[in-house]
Amino acid sequence: MEKVFHTLKPVFDEKSRVLILGSIPSPVSRKNGFYYAHPQNRFWRVLSAIFNEPVPDSADKKRAFLLDKKIALWDVISSCDINGASDTSIKNALPNDFSLIFRSADIKRVFTTGKTAFNLYLRFTGETPSLLPSPSPANCAVPFDTLVKAYSEILLYL
C-alpha cells in the first residue's frame, strides 16, 4: 500500500459544461503527467469516437481536445492509500476541492468513470453523478462499442 497524492491539475475553463471524474491517476498517468496515459486505457479512444475525431497523441493535444469539447476532467481523490492502480484497494481517500471548477464553469452534469469514483463523489458531496463504465484495461469485459454508447450521454450536456 502506497500513500499517493494527486499531482495533476484539473483541465477546465469557463466554457466547460460537463465534468468527468476518475478516482485518482494511475502510476502510468502520474509518471507521464496526464490523465488516462496507460496505453491500454480506452478513455481517449472512446471520447474520440463519440466526437468522430482522431485520438489526440500528446498531453497538450488532449488538453486542447477537452477544452474544445467543453469537457472538464479531474479526479475525485486528492490523496489516498492504494496498491498500484487498483481502485478496489483504495483506503483513506480525501476529496479534491471541486469548487475550483464549479466557481469558474457552468457545469451541467458530473460523470464518473467507474464505480469507485461514483461512490466516493456521492459520499464526499451528497450528489449523485452519472456513472460511466470504467475505460480501464481492468474492465475489459465491457466492449468498446458499449463504452462509446454509454459515453455518448455526455453529448446531451454540451
83 as an active site residue: the answer is no
Residue 76 and residue 122 in contact, taking contact as beta carbons nearer than 8 Å: no
Phi-psi label, residue 47: left if phi above 0, alpha if psi -120 to 50, beta otherwise: alpha
Secondary-structure percent of the chain, ordered helix, strand, coil, rounded to 5: 40, 20, 40
Nearest to 93 by CA among 141, 41, 153, 22: 22
Strands of the chain, DSSP E = 2-5, 18-22, 71-75, 77-82, 91-95, 109-113, 130-132
Annotated catalytic residue: which of 32, 41, 52, 83?
41
What is the C-alpha to C-alpha distance for residues 119 and 46, in angstroms, rounded to an integer? 23
3-class SS at 103?
Answer: coil
Catalytic residues: 41
